[in-house]
Structure 1
Amino acid sequence: MKIMQIYAFDMNCVGHINHGLWTHPRDRSAHYTDLDYWTEFAKTAERGKLDGIFLADIVGVYDVYRGSPSPVIETGAQIPVNDPLIPISAMAYVTKHLGFGVTVNTTYEPPFLLARRMSTLDHLTKGRIGWNIVTGYLDSAARSMGFDKLPEHDARYDAAEEYLEILYKLWEGSWDDDAVLRDKAGGIYADPSKVRTVRHDGKYYRMEGIHLSEPSPQRTPLLFQAGASARGQDFAARHAECVFIAGPNPKAARPTVDALRAKAEEFGRGADALKILSLITVVVGRTEREARDKLEGYRRHASVEASLAHYSASVGIDFSKYGLDDVIDQSSTNANQSALAAITKQAAKPVTLRDIINQMVLGSRMKPMVGSPEQIADHLQRWIEEGGIDGFNLARTVAPESLRDFVELVVPVLQERGIFKADYAEGPLRQKLFGGGSGRLPAAHPAAQFRR
């Protein structure tokens, strides 16, 4: 029986996926600027044996809806937002096994500097760091970084391919495994003959330099990706190890899952080279009635306005220009193409603004799973069996109670059924998730060609 993986999904901000719930009297997410908030979050996740904490990020603001950032500023929808990498060292310090995934945008971050930052975190976490590769989808981010507008969708992925080649050269090829000697008697810390300069002269990037960090436990961090467009799926199948999807149900998600695994096989990596994780929101109570009551309490604080502002920016369409019963008919933008296709090209029937709002139960476009621990476990098991996925990205509702409820109520049921681990495996994050080896990328991964 497949053992599912579960990550706590969050962001270094007040409102992440389920908008408006920071106004709930029991919610503590406004304390996101306090390091204790993050260390307690990490300790709770590790107490529940979760595989990791995944921190999303966005560079820019959601200013498509009503042509202004005011709606998201007013409602705290992913603004203000702090750097996701900075709390990780502290969270790693108070945990032993918990993994960490963090989003960094390739379009705006120089590869040479990112290589050092991720190697540093891999050292400090003892090999528990992962990187979510994104190329961005907001024009506001592009303008903030000095561009006139966001580069075209496929061009962003082309540049990211080259970006990763540089990183692989730095992480995998700049230092030999035995370059570091730490010879106190001889006064030699590292052997210069086993440290090489990386040179790259491509279409999008030029660089020449030695990787500034000595080899870390994983060298290349565990690689996450969430591209669901055709180009994004190709990119994920070639490079990623964990892929995030967001389907409404297992049946709808299965074609994407099968396509990703087939593409991974085409690239010579094998279908099992990918761990595919679905985004979920869970509201659980000791009984179904308790869960339903909790949901109703949460719903009174959900913000449809914030959710529409977030969704508008995601798909690149200003929903404020549509009437409730107008069909969403714009099928192409330069934003998130898979999110747009879900309500246009791939929709089973025409989707109206009213349809979208009716989905927004908790201030997001995804309906929550609601029920007793046994009912939630049934839902998750069905996703694994029918959807063919490997696990879940668990979005928060009211923090920290939603994670605590899941850890205390759902995890024991999953463990009793033998579909979630009773304890952590040893080793770096990649080794925990895939088993075997030393935690390094396998030989079939494209990064391996840059090793000496």
Structure 2
Amino acid sequence: MAERKQLFLNLFEMATASHITHGLWPLPGNNRERFADIDYWTELAQILEHGGFDGIFLADVIGAYDVFRGGPETALREGLQSPNIDPLLVIPAMAAVTERLGFGVTFSTTYEPPFAFARRMSTLDHLTKGRVGWNVVTSYLPNAAHNFGLDGEVPHDLRYQYADEYLDVLYKLWEGSWDDDAVVADRANKIFTDPSKVRYINHVGERHRVSGPHIVHPSRQRTPVLFQATGSPAGIEFAGRHAEVVFTGGRTTEEFRRNADGMRDAAVRHGREREDVKFIAMAGIIVGRTEEEAADKWKLYRENSSLDGILAHSSLPVDLTAFPRDITVAEALRRADVSPSKVPFLPLERTVGQALDFVGGSRDDRFLVVGTAKTVADEIEKWLDEDGLDGINLRQYHSFDTARDFAELVVPELRKRGRLPDESERSDTLRERLFGAGNSRLPDRHIGARYRGGANLDNPVEPLRFDTANAASF
């Protein structure tokens, strides 16, 4: 019998009170308010490690959600991704109490220089023994731009051009600056590093000038696993060149496959193979020992969900709650003097009430299942076999009940079906867990590998170019 495709299992997290399940942090027993307590992270990491999870994925933002109602007040009241501590700094604590759990962490390429970030990620890859990945983002909040001295957001596609050069610098530092055997630690001759095996990168680009050499010696993976979330044309082309794991979705199996195939095609255009890119979707899973128990949990979460939090998170430029529910969205926008182009996701012909109900339930998509472990496992198998999904980011409704429920109820069922590895089976690095044993490093066909051994440092790669007037959102 053919070997069954296994699930890559992440918990979706953020170092804040309200990440993506708004209004739920006050629920009894929820630990969300402890997000700045190091014990929160070590406890959670151990639950995931012993519960069969492959990783924890940490989202991040570097600005406040201050578009809705013209300021940050709603987001602050809701705890919506503010306060929010630096996710890179909680990883070493979790790594210290685990052996196999992987860590994906978000960092933006738009505002901070690449040399300093290269050092931090190499440090994390050392400290975790190769269990770290990076979610490459370009930052989309207007307040983020204001926090770094700009008058407004950098245009969407220009951010991707910036990111392309940013990664080029990182590849030169991570892959090309040091040879694997540069550190000799020769006590007899009192030589720690062989200088002939370390080199400057001398990058001179449109945005960055970095001499090098890298300040950290090679780590287990050198380049961390590269994650990306995208759907825009520029983002897809960027993913085809760089990403190893893409967060995507689709309202139907056909739409998901179409999205995935578009990114695989982009990978082939950049000299890679179609299987070089894995796909993960955010999934909502509420599991109980009975169907009734699961339904009761879902009812509790729905009843306590905050519409204000969802609207603020959406950066909606018009407060639909201020209008009668029976007028159309188009009429509400007219009264508010807001162009429909500012809210392309809202159906203009629907009533305000219908639109608010739509926005409030917009995360209840097809990657959502409520039921017993058998019901959940059946649905996950469909995602793997029919959609072609490789993994999930498990949305956390309750800390730590969501993770515990999945670990105690669903993981044994998935293991029984061959969809998750046994506890005794572990991969040394995060990249090996995704791509198989012996694959700790970027494949030779990846653009980052062109700098290995110092090759091509003086041979600039042709940068990606996009239509910088494109107004796509991510």
So what's the TM-score if we normalise by structure 2?
0.88
Distance 2:314 2:349 in 1: 17
* CA deviation map 1:27-75 (0-9, x unaligned): 1110111111111111111112211000000010111111111111001
1:185 to 168, 182, 188: 188
Q: How does 1:236-275 map to 2 (within 5 A)?
A: 236-275=239-278
Distance 1:64 1:321 in 2: 15
Distance 2:31 2:452 in 1: 46
Residue in 2 that maps onto 1:395: 395
Residue in 1 that maps onto 2:374: 374
User: In the superposition, relative to structure 1, how do residues 353 and 198 fare at CA in structure 2: closer, same or farther (>3 Å)?
Assistant: farther
Amino acid paired to 1:427: D
Deviation at 1:410, TM superposition (A): 1.0
Q: How does 1:44-59 map to 2 (within 5 A)?
A: 44-59=47-62
Q: Is the 8 A contact 2:294 2:372 kept in 1?
A: yes
Residue in 1 that maps onto 2:435: 434
User: In the superposition, relative to structure 1, how do residues 363 and 404 fare at CA in structure 2: closer, same or farther (>3 Å)?
Assistant: farther
Q: How does 1:50-69 map to 2 (within 5 A)?
A: 50-69=53-72
Deviation at 1:84, TM superposition (A): 0.3
Q: Is the 8 A contact 2:48 2:403 kept in 1?
A: yes
Distance 1:365 1:331 in 2: 24
User: In the superposition, relative to structure 1, how do residues 355 and 281 fare at CA in structure 2: closer, same or farther (>3 Å)?
Assistant: farther
Amino acid paired to 1:47: H
User: In the superposition, relative to structure 1, how do residues 220 and 332 fare at CA in structure 2: closer, same or farther (>3 Å)?
Assistant: farther
Deviation at 1:372, TM superposition (A): 1.1
* CA deviation map 1:385-439 (0-9, x unaligned): 2222111111100111011001111111111111222234332111121014351
Distance 1:189 1:317 in 2: 61
Gaps of 5+ in 1: 334-339
Deviation at 1:353, TM superposition (A): 5.1
Q: Is the 8 A contact 2:329 2:355 kept in 1?
A: no
Corresponding residue pairs, total: 440
SS in structure 2 opposite 1:306?
helix
Q: How does 1:137-286 map to 2 (within 5 A)?
A: 137-286=140-289
- Is 1:311 paired with 2:310? no
Which deviates more, 324-333 or 145-154? 324-333
Deviation at 1:208, TM superposition (A): 1.4
Amino acid paired to 1:391: G
Structure 1 vs Structure 2 CA RMSD: 2.2
Distance 2:172 2:9 in 1: 31
User: In the superposition, relative to structure 1, how do residues 152 and 184 fare at CA in structure 2: closer, same or farther (>3 Å)?
Assistant: same
- Is 1:39 paired with 2:38? no
- Is 1:17 paired with 2:16? no
Q: Is the 8 A contact 1:65 1:319 kept in 2?
A: no
Distance 2:355 2:364 in 1: 7
Amino acid paired to 2:310: S
Amino acid paired to 2:384: I
* CA deviation map 1:348-402 (0-9, x unaligned): x966654453346679565742111111112211222222211111110011101
Q: How does 1:288-327 map to 2 (within 5 A)?
A: 288-312=291-315, 324=325, 325-326=328-329
SS in structure 2 opposite 1:7?
strand
Deviation at 1:318, TM superposition (A): 6.2
Distance 1:47 1:396 in 2: 17
SS in structure 2 opposite 1:22?
coil
Distance 1:322 1:265 in 2: 49
User: In the superposition, relative to structure 1, how do residues 350 and 371 fare at CA in structure 2: closer, same or farther (>3 Å)?
Assistant: farther
* CA deviation map 1:268-311 (0-9, x unaligned): 21111011000111111111111111111222321011011101
Distance 2:440 2:324 in 1: 53
Amino acid paired to 1:130: G
Residue in 2 that maps onto 1:357: 356
Distance 1:210 1:299 in 2: 53
- Is 1:125 paired with 2:124? no
Which deviates more, 111-120 or 323-332? 323-332
Gaps of 5+ in 2: 454-474
Distance 1:174 1:352 in 2: 59
* CA deviation map 1:145-193 (0-9, x unaligned): 1111110000000000000000000000010111110001110000111
Q: Is the 8 A contact 2:12 2:59 kept in 1?
A: yes
So what's the TM-score if we normalise by structure 1?
0.92
